[in-house]
Structure 1
Amino acid sequence: MLENLKNIPVVLDLRKIIFENKFSTHTNVNYFRGVYNSFSEAELSSPKTKPKGYDNSESAALYKERTNTTYSTDYPVLFWMNKYKSDISNVFDFGGHIGVHYYSFSKLLDFSGIKNWTVCDVPSVAEEGKKYAKQRGAKNLNFVSNIQDLADQDLFLASGSLQYLDWEIHDKLFELKKFPKYLIFNMLPLHSSTSTITLQSIGTAFCPYYIRLEKDFIKGLESIGYEVLDLWSNEEKSCHIAFEKERSLNYYRGLILRLK
């Protein structure tokens, strides 16, 4: 009865007005709303109260506290990096912000075999990362803003970043002369039956957000020569799109693939 009451047209309209006010003004980073045909359409629907995307000083300043913290969702990545550490000397951390995983993982992993850890992120974030690395005295940590700089890497790591892209990673990898040995994806929104472009509030800005169809995502990577070694669920992470229950996710996904 309560569910039926919530969906009476006048009540539903009121709920949407209340939610839109929260979405536009609150600093909660887990608000999602809308279903769109493209990233550009999602961007056009953004409220005018905040910038769009991560390429701004407010968004670049986020997540410094995460450099000193290891989360439960990190442990599958730590497990596989440790298992194949003898094969990994160059890491390409795509969407790694200011080097969050470089700092937090270094407390638990043996980094002696890693020659270079390269973070790829938008220019504002990359610049902030360089400043922060200087403060921390980070060694072998580099920052770039173009995925084309991915060359001669042993591991391509993307944790919580592919959802902000409207292109497919297997297409970009296919353009490389030499593929990475391993791919690790974590905190990735994959749906079992549909794909969705929605809009997220990250607190400091609004970002188009892509929930991919799981089987298509895996099929694309297999088509360029990778095999799945493991697939796991990040049950601590969810994506609830307002008023779109069927398109929402109760958990995210992670997977590791190896080049055949």
Structure 2
Amino acid sequence: MEGQVVMGLQKLRVMIGSTTAIGLRALARLPHGTRLIGLAASYPVIERWLRALLCVYQPFPDIETATKYIRRFIPAGHEHSDVVSQLKQFADVTRESDYPVLFYLSGYAPGLSRVFDLGGGIGNLFYPYDRELRLPATLRWMVHDLPDKEEIVLQFAQSRHENRIGFSRRMEDASGVDLFIVSGALHYFEDELAVILARLAELPRLVVVNRTPFSRADPIVTTQVGDGYVHACKLHSLAATIAGMEAVGYRLVARWPVHERASRVPLRPDLNDTYWGLFFVLEADRRRRDASL
């Protein structure tokens, strides 16, 4: 009985948080609304009160802190069955934001031999790309995701009679690949993209970022709340992400807005931005990294 009361109170707090978030997002769309929210949050007492009301919808200092907090209220995250079901549906759909990637990747597609799909879910991105680009028969597409996804990735590929997809548990397998792609997943990582890539012995030749929410200025950690699940995520700075990639030797070929989704941090509407896609090509003389990096 006591456990049911606690669960009921937790659900109530999440509902209050959702209502508060909706109200703040509506206020932010009004003239001077963003300034008003910023002014209110500048007072420590009001800011603490708003955070308490927002519950899982509040900003956090880092992903680890956010994850520990939100799991007290909503236990399920990326492993939720609805998330996996949605990924299976995406395998049969070429979404609007895929087309810029397909356009810029088309000239490179025949020469691709190794692809590393960071946060690749069940490998669902491979299927629309293969339909549109007719990827080489010798291609090896490696999905890197949470360990519990491995069996699902391989079973789904088998159900599609597809032998080009594998699962990687090691980031080191991204070293020197032809294409490193992170679509709808970069915001689940604490580190900047350039920092992740700089750890590799050899940089990937092409890097694609897609369906990723960014911040207009400083990075900020927030949450994505679904029906029965919640993810902690970090909105990296768009400008800093591009600058970091250029610093390690990449050239930005294109960037495009993604309007399929929106991420709105209720307490920091000044940082809200759209989702973006980015296409990078490594400068020829920068592929091998110093051991010191």
TM-score (norm 2): 0.73
| 1:242 Cα deviation from its structure 2 partner | 3.2
Give the CA RMSD over aligned residues.
Answer: 2.6
Q: Percent identity?
A: 25
Aligned residue number for residue 207 of structure 1: 231
Please give the alpha-carbon distance, in whole angstroms, between the structure 2 residues aligned to 1:231 and 1:22: 30
Structure number with higher relative contact order (C-alpha < 8 Å, ≥ 6 residues apart): 1
Which of 248, 256, 259 is the aligned partner of 2:279? 256
| 1:139 Cα deviation from its structure 2 partner | 2.1
Aligned residue number for residue 163 of structure 1: 187
| 1:43 Cα deviation from its structure 2 partner | 1.6
Contact 1:43 1:52 in 2 (8 A): no
Please give the alpha-carbon distance, in whole angstroms, between the structure 1 residues aligned to 2:272 and 2:224: 13
Please give the alpha-carbon distance, in whole angstroms, between the structure 2 residues aligned to 1:61 and 1:16: 25
Which of 62, 65, 73 is the aligned partner of 2:97? 73
**Greater Rg by CA:** 2
Which of 224, 234, 246 is the aligned partner of 2:248? 224
Please give the alpha-carbon distance, in whole angstroms, between the structure 2 residues aligned to 1:15 and 1:243: 16
Structure that is richer in helix per residue: 2
Change (3 A) 1:201 1:18: closer
Aligned residue number for residue 19 of structure 1: 18
Q: Flag structure 2 segments of 5+ consecutive residues without an equivalent.
A: 1-12, 23-55, 284-293
Contact 1:164 1:209 in 2 (8 A): yes
Q: Flag structure 1 segments of 5+ consecutive residues without an equivalent.
A: 1-13, 24-31
Change (3 A) 1:57 1:65: closer
Map Cα deviations across residues 175-201 of structure 1 (whole Å, 9 max, x no partner).
222211110101111222232101222
Map Cα deviations across residues 190-215 of structure 1 (whole Å, 9 max, x no partner).
22223210122243432111001111
Aligned residue number for residue 171 of structure 2: 147
Contact 1:35 1:198 in 2 (8 A): yes
| 1:105 Cα deviation from its structure 2 partner | 1.7
User: How many corresponding residue pairs?
Assistant: 238
| 1:58 Cα deviation from its structure 2 partner | 5.9
